Structure 1
Amino acid sequence: MHERAFRFGRASHLVGIAGIPAAIASETGVVLLNAGLVHRIGPFRLHVDLTRRLNALGYATLRFDLSTVGDSSSSGQSQTKQEQVCADVDDAMRLLAGEAGCTRFVLMGLCSGAQNAHIVACTDPKVAGAIFLDGYAYRTIGYRFRYYVPKIFDMARWRRMLSRGSQTATDKQKDPDPVFAVAPSPRDVVRADFVDMVARGMKIFLIYSGGISNYFNHRRQFRECFGPVMSDARVTTTFVRESDHTYILTGDRHRLVERIEQWLSRNFPVPAVGTSS
Structure 2
Amino acid sequence: MQEQAFRFGRARHLIGVAGLPPAPQGAVGASTIGVIVLNAGLVHRVGPFRLHVELTRRLNASGYPTLRFDFSTVGDSGASGESQSREQQIIADANDAMTLLRRQAGCTRFVLIGLCSGAQNAHTVACVDDKVAGAVFLDGYAYRTFGYRLRHYLPRLIDLARWRRLLSLHRRSAEKVRGEPVFSTVPSPQTVVRADLAGMVERGMHLCLIYSGGINMFFNHARQFRECFGEVMVHPRVSTRFVRETDHTYVLVDDRKRLIDQIDGWLLSNFPLAQAAAAPVMRAELETLP
TM-score by length of 2: 0.88
**Separation in 2, partners of 1:34, 1:197:** 22
Shift of 1:56: 0.7
- Check the 8 A contact 1:115/1:182 in 2, yes or no: no
Give the number of equivalent residue pairs: 265
2:23 corresponding residue in structure 1: 23
Within-5 A mapping of 1:177-188: 182-188=185-191
1:255 to 230, 255, 258: 258
Aligned to 2:155: 150
Indicate whether 1:10 and 2:20 are aligned: no
Query: Matched residues in 1 for 2:185 and 2:261: separation?
Result: 25
Given the superposition, is the C-alpha separation of residues 115 and 180 from structure 1 closer, same or farther in structure 2, using an over 3 Å criterion? farther
TM-score w.r.t. structure 1 length? 0.92
Contact 2:3 2:19 in 1 (8 A): yes
What SS does structure 1 have at the residue aligned with 2:130? coil
Does the aligned pair in 2 maintain the 1:65–1:72 contact within 8 Å?
A: yes
Q: 1:24 to 1:165 in 2, by over 3 A?
A: closer
Over 3 Å counting, the alpha-carbon distance change for 1:99 and 1:226 in structure 2 is same
* Cross-structure match for 1:113: 118
> Helix, strand or coil for the counterpart of 2:44?
coil
| Distance apart, 1:24 and its partner CA | 1.4
| Letter paired with 2:266 | W
Indicate which of 125, 136, 145 corresponds to 2:141: 136
In the alignment, which residue of structure 1 is the partner of 2:228?
A: 225
**Counterpart for residue 124 of structure 1:** 129
C-alpha distance in 2, partners of 1:102/1:126? Answer: 10
Where does structure 1 lack aligned partners over 5 or more consecutive residues? 173-178
Partner Cα separation in structure 2 for residue 56 and residue 255 of structure 1: 16
Q: 1:260 to 1:167 in 2, by over 3 A?
A: farther
CA–CA distance in structure 1, aligned partners of residues 148 and 227 of structure 2 = 9
State which drifts further: 15-24 or 246-255: 15-24
1:31 is displaced (CA, Å) by 0.2
1:120 aligned partner, one-letter code: V
Name the % identity: 65
Ranked by relative contact order (alpha carbons within 8 Å, sequence separation 6 or more), the top structure is: 2
> What are the Cα deviations for residues 54-76 of structure 1, in whole angstroms up to 9, with x where unaligned?
00111000000000000000111
Contact 1:66/1:88 (CA < 8 Å) preserved in 2?
Answer: yes
| Cross-structure match for 1:62 | 67
- Secondary structure at the counterpart of residue 253 of structure 1: helix
Is the CA contact (8 Å cut-off) linking 1:161 and 1:167 kept in structure 2?
no
Deviations 1:1-50, CA, capped at 9 Å, x for gaps: 11000000000000000001232113210000000000000000000000
Deviations 1:181-221 (A, max 9, x none): 75311100000000100000000000100000001000100
2: CA distance between counterparts of 1:67 and 1:52? 23
Report the counterpart of residue 97 of structure 2 in structure 1: 92
Structure 1 residue 253, shift from structure 2 partner: 0.3
- Alpha-carbon deviations, 1:66-98, whole Å to 9, x = none? 000000001111111111000000000010001
Match for residue 57 of structure 2?
52
Q: Once the two structures are superposed, what CA deviation does each residue of 1:119-157 show, in whole Å capped at 9, x if it has no partner?
A: 000010000000000000100000000000000111211
1:34 is aligned to: 39
Distance 1:180 1:269, change over 3 A: farther
What is the alpha-carbon distance in structure 1 between the residues aligned to residue 139 and residue 171 of structure 2?
30
Aligned equivalent of 1:245: 248
Show the counterpart of 1:83. 88
SS of match in other structure, 1:10: coil
Structure 2: how far apart are the matches of 1:272 and 1:180?
46
Give 1:243's aligned amino acid.
T
**8 A Cα contact 2:36 2:67, kept in partner:** yes
Contact 1:68 1:74 (C-alpha < 8 Å) held by counterparts: yes
